[in-house]
Chains A and B, each alone.
Chain A
C-alpha cells in the first residue's frame, strides 16, 4: 500500500540524512524501522509524511507512493488528508489543550459529528487510562499518558497508515508492553497499517510482521520479524546492538576502546 523507494534526504541543503532507503508497508501490516541514533529512522518517517519540508529538509531523490499514487512533494496536510498520520517523536501533545480537545484536533479533517463522537468513545476504550483525564490539560499528563494521547489523537483521523516515531521513548518497560499490545489490537480491529520507528528492537519486533534495519541512512538488513529477531545477536557484532537487543549509541558499541573516539 505504502511504498518508498530510493529515498535520499538532505537537511538545510548540506546535511545528508538518508542515502538510499526503500521500504514498503502492506495493507494491515505492521512494519518496524530499526536502527541506532542518527541512522535515519525519523527522517524516513518525515519523508513519507512530508513533515521533512517544515524542518528545512528536502527529498533530493526517490519517491513515495500511496496506492500507486505519488505523494512525495505534497504538503504535509495534503498527505494527512490522504490518510497518512504521523505521530511525531517525543509526545507532541498540545499542552494547553485538554485531553479531549487534543483528540478532537485529531479529527480536524472530519466533518461527521456523529462519527467523531463514536470514535472519541472508542479512543477511550482503547486507552482506558485517558478517560478520567478527559478534561485535564494534556500538559499535566504523565509521559506514558501523553504518548497514549498522541496515538489516540492520530487514530481520530481514521488513518490508513500510522507513522509512529519512537513510541517507547522514555516509557517504563511495562507501559511499553501495554502500548504495543494496544497497537496490535488497533491493527487487528481497525485494519490500520503502521510503520514504527524504534530503538527498542526487541519490543518493536515483538509487535511487527516485518522489519527494516537502517544504518547510516541505508537499509542494512530487512526481513520478517522472527527472522530479524533471531539475527539480533549476530547484528550486535556490527550494528551496535546490546545483549538485550537495544541499540547502543555509536560510542559505546562493542569494539570501541575505552577513552577512544568521542570521549573527552
Chain B
C-alpha cells in the first residue's frame, strides 16, 4: 500500500534540525539565493538595497537575542536598543582606545554586554513581566545619559573612524564584503538560537514563560533561569552592536532610539514569539515595510517632508503590530505552521 501523508517515520528524524529531503532542497535554494543576493540586488541598480540588507542582517542578530529574553523566557525588555548601543560603544572603544583588533574587540564587547545585561536584570528578576520592562526602560535612559556624559565616549558627537575588520589581508570595506561577513555571523546566530530552543536550558526558558510556579515545582531555579535568559539575549545585542559600530564606522547616541526597542518587540510579535525563525521573519517583514515606505517617500511620487515620513513609518509599523495581534496573535510562524500541517496530512484534512 502506498504511504499517505508526509509524517516523520522515526525518532531520529523527529530530533533532526532538518528532517526531510524537501527541507534540504529548500535550504539549498535558500543558500543559493543568499549567496548570490549581492549580484541579484546589483541588477536593481540601486546600491541602497545592499546597505538595507546589511542593516537587516545586523537587526536579525539583535532580535534573535531579544527573542531569547522576551520570546522564549517571557521577560519584556524595552532596553534592547540600549544593549546594542552599549555593545557598539564597547567594541568601538576597545578598538579606538585600547588598540584591539576587530576580532578581539567583537567577542570582548559581546561578553561585556552580556554582563551588563546581568547587572541590569538582577534587581527585577524576582518579579514578573511589567517590572522587567520598567527596569530595562530605565536602563535605556541611564545608558544614554552615561554615554553622553563621559569624555571617552565623545559626548553627543559620538565616536568616529571605527576600524573595519581584516580577514587574511583583506579589509572588509565594501557593502558586498560586509554582506558575506554578516551573513556568516547571522547564520551562526540562527543555528545557535535554534539549538538553544531544543536544549535543556531553552526548554527551561519556555517553561518559566508558560508557568513559573509549575517550573519551580519541577526544580527549575526561576530567578537564575531568568538571569540566564537575559544574559544570552544581551550577548546577541552586544554582538550586533559591535558589528554595527564597525560597519557604520561611526557611533552616536541618536542612532539608538527607544522606538527601535519597541519595534524589535513588534518584530517578535509579528514573527511569532519564541521561535528563531519567527524572529528572522518578523525582522524581514517589518524592515521590508519600512524600506518600501522609504523608497516611496524618497521617490518624489508623493511630496513628503522627511519628518512626516518618519511619523507615517511609525504609524504603519504600529498598525501592522495591531493587525497581527488581532488576527494572528501567534504571528507569521503560526500561519506557516497551519500551511505545513495541512500539506503533511494531504490528502486528509485536519
- Using a CB–CB cutoff of 8 Å, the interface residues on chain A facing chain B are 49, 51, 54-55, 75-77, 80-81, 85-88, 92-97, 101, 104-106, 108-109, 135, 150, 153-154, 157
Q: List 25 A-B contacts (CB under 8 A).
A: A49-B217, A54-B216, A54-B222, A75-B221, A77-B216, A80-B216, A85-B217, A88-B214, A88-B217, A92-B213, A93-B211, A94-B207, A94-B211, A96-B206, A96-B209, A97-B206, A97-B210, A101-B206, A104-B203, A105-B220, A106-B218, A109-B218, A150-B214, A153-B218, A154-B218
Q: Are B206's CB and A94's CB within 8 A?
A: yes
Q: Are B204's CB and A77's CB within 8 A?
A: no
Complex formed: what's the CA distance from A2 to B6 in Å? 50
Contacts of B212 in A (CB 8 A): 54
Q: Are B203's CB and A97's CB within 8 A?
A: yes
Residues of B in contact (CB 8 Å), total 21
Of A51, A96, A101, the contact of B216 (CB 8 Å cutoff): A51
CB distance from B96 to the nearest CB of A (A): 44
Q: Are A135's CB and B14's CB within 8 A?
A: yes
Using CB atoms, name the residue of chain A closest to B14: A135
CB distance from A235 to the nearest CB of B (A): 31
Task: Assess A101 versus B217: contact at CB under 8 Å? Given A54-B212, A94-B211, A96-B274.
Answer: no
CB distance from B29 to the nearest CB of A (A): 26
Contacts of A92 in B (CB 8 A): 211, 213-214, 217
Contacts of A153 in B (CB 8 A): 218
Contacts of B14 in A (CB 8 A): 135
Of B200, B213, B218, B222, the contact of A85 (CB 8 Å cutoff): B218
Within 8 A of A (CB), among B272-287: 274
Q: Are A94's CB and B217's CB within 8 A?
A: no
Using CB atoms, name the residue of chain B closest to A53: B216
Q: Quick one: which of B206, B212, B218, B221 has the most chain A CB within 10 A?
A: B218
Complex formed: what's the CA distance from A84 to B345 in Å? 42
Nearest 6 CB-CB pairings of A with B: A80-B219, A94-B210, A92-B214, A76-B216, A109-B219, A86-B217
Known: A54-B213, A75-B221, A105-B218. 20 other contacts (CB 8 A): A49-B217, A51-B217, A55-B213, A76-B216, A86-B217, A87-B217, A92-B211, A93-B210, A94-B214, A96-B210, A97-B203, A97-B207, A97-B210, A101-B206, A104-B200, A106-B218, A108-B200, A108-B220, A135-B14, A157-B219
Contacts of A157 in B (CB 8 A): 218-219
CB distance from A89 to the nearest CB of B (A): 10
Complex formed: what's the CA distance from A150 to B218 in Å? 11
Q: Quick one: which of A54, A75, A94, A95 has the most chain B CB within 10 A?
A: A94
Contacts of B220 in A (CB 8 A): 77, 105, 108
Contacts of A109 in B (CB 8 A): 218-219
Mark each residue of chain B from 216 to 244: 1 if its CB lies under 8 Å from any CB of chain A, else 0: 11111110000000000000000000000
Complex formed: what's the CA distance from A80 to B204 in Å? 15
Within 8 A of A (CB), among B315-335: none
Mark each residue of chain B from 186 to 220: 1 if its CB lies under 8 Å from any CB of chain A, else 0: 00000000000000100110110111111111111
CB distance from B103 to the nearest CB of A (A): 35
Complex formed: what's the CA distance from A154 to B213 in Å? 14
Complex formed: what's the CA distance from A153 to B210 in Å? 15
Contacts of B211 in A (CB 8 A): 92-94
Using CB atoms, name the residue of chain A closest to B198: A101
Using CB atoms, name the residue of chain A closest to B275: A96
Task: Assess A105 versus B215: contact at CB under 8 Å? Given A77-B221, A94-B210.
Answer: yes
Q: Are A105's CB and B204's CB within 8 A?
A: yes
Complex formed: what's the CA distance from A24 to B209 in Å? 34
Q: Are B219's CB and A77's CB within 8 A?
A: yes
Using CB atoms, name the residue of chain B closest to A105: B207
Of B204, B210, B274, the contact of A108 (CB 8 Å cutoff): B204
Contacts of B200 in A (CB 8 A): 104, 108
Q: Are A108's CB and B213's CB within 8 A?
A: no
Contacts of A80 in B (CB 8 A): 216-219
Using CB atoms, name the residue of chain B closest to A117: B11
Complex formed: what's the CA distance from A211 to B213 in Å? 27
Contacts of A55 in B (CB 8 A): 213
Using CB atoms, name the residue of chain B closest to A156: B218
Contacts of B204 in A (CB 8 A): 105, 108
Complex formed: what's the CA distance from A150 to B210 in Å? 14
CB distance from A195 to the nearest CB of B (A): 14
Q: Quick one: which of A92, A106, A109, A153 has the most chain B CB within 10 A?
A: A92
Complex formed: what's the CA distance from A109 to B216 in Å? 11
Complex formed: what's the CA distance from A93 to B209 in Å? 12
Using CB atoms, name the residue of chain A closest to B204: A108
Contacts of A75 in B (CB 8 A): 216, 221
CB distance from A85 to the nearest CB of B (A): 7
Contacts of A85 in B (CB 8 A): 217-218
Contacts of A81 in B (CB 8 A): 219
Using CB atoms, name the residue of chain B closest to A153: B218
CB distance from A58 to the nearest CB of B (A): 16
Complex formed: what's the CA distance from A86 to B218 in Å? 8
CB distance from A55 to the nearest CB of B (A): 7
CB distance from B222 to the nearest CB of A (A): 7
Contacts of B215 in A (CB 8 A): 94, 105
Complex formed: what's the CA distance from A101 to B209 in Å? 14
Of A88, A106, A135, the contact of B213 (CB 8 Å cutoff): A88
